[in-house]
Amino acid sequence: MRSMTERPTHEAGWLEKRLPIVSVFRREYVDFPMPRNLNSLWSFGAFAMVALGLLVLSGIFLAINYTPTMADAFASIETIDRRVASGWLVRAIHMGGVSMLFATLYVHMGRSLYYGSYKTPRELIWLTGTGLLAMVMITAFAGYILPWGQMSYWGATVVINAVNAVPGIGHPLASWLLGGDGLGDVALHRFYVLHFVTAFSILGVIALHVASIHVSGSNNPTGVDPQGPDDTVPFHPYYTSKDGLGICLFLAVYAVLIFFLPNLLTLSDNYVMANPVVTPKDITPEWYFAPFYAILRAVPSRLGGLVLAAGSIAVLFAVPWLDRSPVRSARYRPLLKIALPVLFFSFFMLGMAGMHAPTAPWLWVSRLCVAYWYAYFLIMLPLLPKIEKTYPVPVALQGQN
């Protein structure tokens, strides 16, 4: 007679022959070989996954209690905050999650730029990651309109006016997106659907992003591919424990943001119901949109601003082909090691400019930073490999940090 201890093994073997979930999971997420020298910046991908998971879960709860009409949208948000049990907490988790997600994505992409994670054979990893950033921006913009506060309404109006400025197709495109000539019940309902559809579409693109990582392998700070078993360690327990500790710290910051700094999550004008006849003194976006809002205002032309803002994202998709240097990591590229931090500083200053009124000092800061943004990607990246004398690159990861 078969003992009781043998039954689970037999059943597991039966399932494994028909649907090898356990073995695939073990191969891809337990025994998967990772470079032995990854630093803490590689944990930001895990942070983004946690933030996205909390956003999806809290968003489902909020959707149950939200009404996407002009008359009821703001009132339904107030009901969630004041009457639904723990509704204020779920909404704070959702709003805080957006900030935490964007923060992790910006660091994640900055790390990829610095260490050359977009180079052969990892172009698809970069393309799916950049696509995820664009999708998250669309999702966040649609979600920002849903509370129907003053800043939600007027922020959407700014973007719609920019789309209307496109010659020929601008006005028909805006009317098609809104279901009419302006923001109303139909437009609000469409943004509600767009918010949900893109949010769940992001999960599918993440699956592609992770799959491409497992096919090409993870990059590392040296940019040198592992040459053998001595250069790698299994994902578990080495990086699961490292990411686990990082996630604990990440959630601690998340909690501080929710419980101690809630006013950083949204602007005060958004606690006032949208009023189309009263324009706020300063139309200010959330911090994660501020750099692109500064680009939008950098030139007097609405069409020019829209082209520059859209182009600042579009140019990222071309990075693997703009940078032809055989050396991946900026550690060994002395000129890039100077140019790239200036790019990060320019992005930060664009964010500062976007949070201030477009007066002379901040307007010129925006223009200088936009000029450098495009100069870096379109001039410096193609030119530097031709004039740059790189440092010696290690041949193996053993002993590298």
Backbone angles phi, psi at 106, to 5 degrees: -65, -40
Q: Are 234 and 34 in contact (CB under 8 A)?
A: yes
236 among annotated binding-site residues: no
Q: HSE, CB side, 13 Å, CA atoms: give it for residue 315.
A: 18
Preceding omega of 237 cis (within 30 degrees of 0): yes
One-letter-per-residue 3-state SS of 345-365? HHHHHHHHHHCCCCCHHHHHH
Closest to 12 measured CA to CA, from 3, 4, 20: 20
Calpha distance 59→95 (Å, rounded): 10
189 is in an annotated binding site: no
Q: Is 139 left (phi over 0), alpha (psi -120 to 50) or beta?
A: alpha
The helix/strand/coil state of 55 is: helix
**Of the candidates 312, 380, 291, 314, the residue with the CA atom closest to the CA atom of residue 127:** 314
Q: Which residues carry out catalysis? A: 214, 218, 242-243, 286
User: 139: which strand partners?
Assistant: none
- Annotated ligand binding at 94? The verdict is yes
Token pair recorded at residue 362: 């901040």
Q: Which residue has the tokens 């069409």?
A: 303
Helices and strands of the chain, counted as H and E runs: 16, 2
Question: Is 195 annotated as contributing to ligand binding?
Answer: yes
**Annotation-wise, does 356 bind a ligand?**
no
Integer Cα distance of 291 and 285 in angstroms? 9
Positive or negative, the Cα torsion across 127, 128, 132, 135? positive
At 369, the amino acid letter reads C
CA distances from 126 to 336, 342, 371 (A): 19, 21, 24
Binding site as annotated, residues for heme b:
94, 108, 195, 209
Binding site as annotated, residues:
94, 108, 195, 209, 214
